[in-house]
Amino acid sequence: MTEKDLVIIGGGPAGLAAAIGAWEDGIRDMVVLEREKQAGGILRQCIHNGFGLHRFGEELTGPEYAQRDIDRAKELGIPIQCNTTVLSVTEEKVVTCVSAEKGLEIIHARAIILAMGCRERPRGALGTPGTRCAGIYTAGTAQKFVNLEGFMPGKRVVILGSGDIGLIMARRMTLQGAKVLACVELMPFSSGLNRNIVQCLQDFDIPLYLSHTVTNVEGRERLTGVTVSEVGPDRKPIPGTEIHFDCDTLLLSVGLIPENELSRTAKVELSPVTSGAVVNDLLETSVPGIFSCGNVLHVHDLVDFVSEESFKAGHAAADLILHGAKRSDTIRVLDGEGVRGTVPQMIRRGSADEVRLMFRPAGVYKNASAVVMCGDREVARKRAMIFTPGEMAVLPIPGNKVAELDGDITVKMEVKA
Amino acid sequence: MTEKVITCINCPMGCRMTVQMEGKEILKITGNTCKRGETYARQECTEPMRMVTAVVPVEGSRMPVSVKTRTPIPKARIQACMKALSGVRLTLPIHEKDVVLPDVCGTGVDVIATRTLMA
């Protein structure tokens, strides 16, 4: 068993930013473990532009955004060990990993940062009826085929779900010569950005069927067609509304789930709402010395916010390694009316550091405010013309207000009368 | 007179704007909540612009290289740009920002590599 100050699991945007943050604070005895052959994570296959507007003030493509962090990590000398799969992490902070080059390695770390990202909900999680034929992929898998491997998974495509990756793939498949017949969304609204609805569907006259879902999948070996039906307010199919599409490919873009298998082996407490770890304002989990950041903590919309959060986790881990644990009593952050999945879920009592609460509104709120209450006292407020579930809201609590907190706080939506 | 309906992409409000036009002349824009919406609607009705991103095959490499137009090009030229790109074969090594196809389809815009691929 080898000893290390810091082990970072995952070399995507979260892991890279966390590593850079910790290095800048003086940590040298560290390693980033990445299971793919290159660092960069999912950004490597996101060849479209629109990344980095907040952080760099310009619109980069995914590979360009990733390269900036990879270059910085290289310049600093941060060791990134690729082709390495982590098998388990324990509460005692023992990381077991395996690679073709080094075989089995067991590393005892003083601190660990979990940065494994998220994965797509697969078909099995949907309960779609019909046959189990080839030609059904998650949108991200298709994206990998087209953008990294250079081949097309099909010619006539239906997309189920209108998440951003599905919309991006509708355009991508069309530009590469496929016919995208329809994008089908169960909900009466799309969870994708307006920009993607306009530039990925409308620009190519691809119809978006809201309040519809796939009710049959046909084909013996390869997919030959799908049936799409309208759903009622109860989200149940309405008989007689069936539309049939002849297609050889069905892409799924039906949500992302933080990938927390390793957090579980470490007995990190998980939130049933975010499916990520429960953390305090330092992004430290219920297991002392184990931190979590990026999409493994909660699914973000923008990589810029993943980087911001992960730098913070890197700084916090460095502080713990250099100055020892500073755990204290915590107050809880609770979801109030119209608010889901606020992160962090805990704030250290007596801290005077600014806390940036992130959450998703439960519905669409126009001319509304997100408000933080401590008992009857208002602690912070953010007004906006619109809050939607498709866009994570950020609500900062200034340090002086954090210092005054004397009990649990609640985040809620308030609509102007 | 014709009417065009445009969804604004500047923010999550996604204002539905109606643009009244006489030929190529814009008479009136309604439905926007802010100035940015009006600017966007005007651009969309006169000359809509889009970034184009794609991948291009590389000889001797299993992995293609990702590319983009350096700046947005007219929306009407997207298909032509893709067609022009389909004829491009690159050779190693390729560096980020290398010009892959200069002045694509006479737009005055270069297509450049967005990643480095070494031999």
Q: What is the mean pLDDT of residues A117-143?
A: 91
> What's the average model confidence in pLDDT over A164-181?
96
Q: Point out the residue among B11, B82, B115 whose CB comes nearest to the CB of A63.
A: B115
pLDDT of residue A48: 96
Answer yes or no: are the C-beta atoms of A18 and A310 closer than 8 Å.
Answer: yes
From chain B, the residues in CB contact with A388 under 8 A are 12
CB contacts of B11 in chain A (<8 Å) are: 194, 385-386
Rg (CA), chain A: 22
List chain B residues with CB under 8 Å of A48. Answer: 51, 53
Average pLDDT over residues A272-296: 97
ipTM: 0.91
Residue A416 pLDDT exceeds 80: no
Q: Percentage of residues in chain A with pLDDT exceeding 90?
A: 90
Q: Does A179 touch chain B (CB under 8 A)?
A: no
Long-range contacts of B106-112 (CB under 8 A, 24+ apart): B107/B69, B107/B73, B107/B74, B107/B77, B107/B81, B109/B69, B109/B70, B109/B71, B109/B72, B109/B73, B110/B69, B110/B70, B111/B52, B111/B67, B111/B68, B111/B69, B111/B70, B111/B81, B111/B85, B112/B67, B112/B68, B112/B69, B112/B70
Least confident range of A77-86, A355-364, B3-12: B3-12
What integer pLDDT is reported at residue A193 of this predicted model? 86
pLDDT at A197: 93
Q: For residue A198, which residues of chain B lie inside 8 Å, CB to CB?
A: 7, 9
Domain range B53-113, its CATH number among 3.20.20.10, 3.10.530.10, 3.90.180.10, 3.40.50.1370: 3.10.530.10
Residue of B52, B53, B68, B98 to mutate for A, most A C-beta atoms under 10 A: B53
Note the pLDDT of residue A127. Answer: 79
**Identical fold at A1-120+255-327 and A328-417?**
no
C-beta atoms of A146 and B12 within 8 A: no
Between residues A245 and A415, which one has the greater pLDDT?
A: A245
Parallel/antiparallel/unpaired status of strands A103-114 and A249-252: unpaired
Percentage of chain A beyond pLDDT 70 is 99
Q: What is the pLDDT of residue A201?
A: 97
Q: At how many degrees (to 10) do helices A303-323 and A62-76 cross? A: 20
A327 confidence band (pLDDT: 50, 70, 90):
low
At residue B87, the pLDDT reads: 92
Q: How far is A337 from chain B (nearest CA, A)?
A: 21
What confidence tier does A417 reach under pLDDT thresholds 50, 70, 90? low
Residue of A nearest to B79 (CA): A175
Query: Across all residues in chain A, what is the average pLDDT?
Result: 95
A1-120+255-327: CATH architecture: 3-Layer(bba) Sandwich (3.50)
pLDDT for A326 beyond 90 = no
- The amino acid present at A35, given as its one-letter code, is R
Spatial distance between the Cα atoms of A110 and A5, rounded to a whole number of angstroms: 5
- Chain A from 198 to 217: CB within 8 A of any B CB: 198-199, 202-203
pLDDT at A166 over 80: yes
pLDDT at A144: 97
The position carrying tokens 């389909």 is B86
**Mean pLDDT over residues A301-313, rounded?**
96
Distance from CA of A148 to the nearest CA of B (A): 6
- Per-residue pLDDT tens over the stretch B19-55: 999 988 899 999 998 899 999 999 999 999 999 999 9
Task: Identify the residue among A42, A46, A64 best suited for mutation to test binding to B, counting B beta carbons within 10 A and taking the highest.
Answer: A64
Per-residue model confidence (pLDDT) at position A128: 83
Residue A350 has a pLDDT of 87
Task: From the options 3.40.50.1100, 3.10.150.10, 3.50.50.60, 3.30.1330.180, give the CATH code of A122-254.
Answer: 3.50.50.60
Please indicate whether residue A51 or residue A389 has the higher confidence score (pLDDT). A51
Q: What is the pTM of this model?
A: 0.94
In a mutational test of the A interface, the residue from B5, B40, B68 whose CB has the highest number of chain A CBs within 10 Å is B68
CB–CB contact A59 B63 (8 Å): no
A64 touches chain B (CB under 8 A): yes
**pLDDT score at A27:** 98
pLDDT of residue A131: 85
**How far is the C-alpha of A200 from the C-alpha of B38, rounded, in Å?**
21
pLDDT of residue A108: 98
pLDDT value for B12: 72
Report the CATH architecture of A328-417: Sandwich (2.60)
| Cross-chain CB nearest to A63 (options B8, B14, B114) | B114
Q: Tell me the C-alpha distance between A245 and A224, whole Å.
A: 9
Model confidence pLDDT, tens digit, residues A185-223:
999 988 888 889 999 999 999 999 999 999 999 999 999
- Domain locations in chain A as residue ranges: 1-120+255-327, 122-254, 328-417
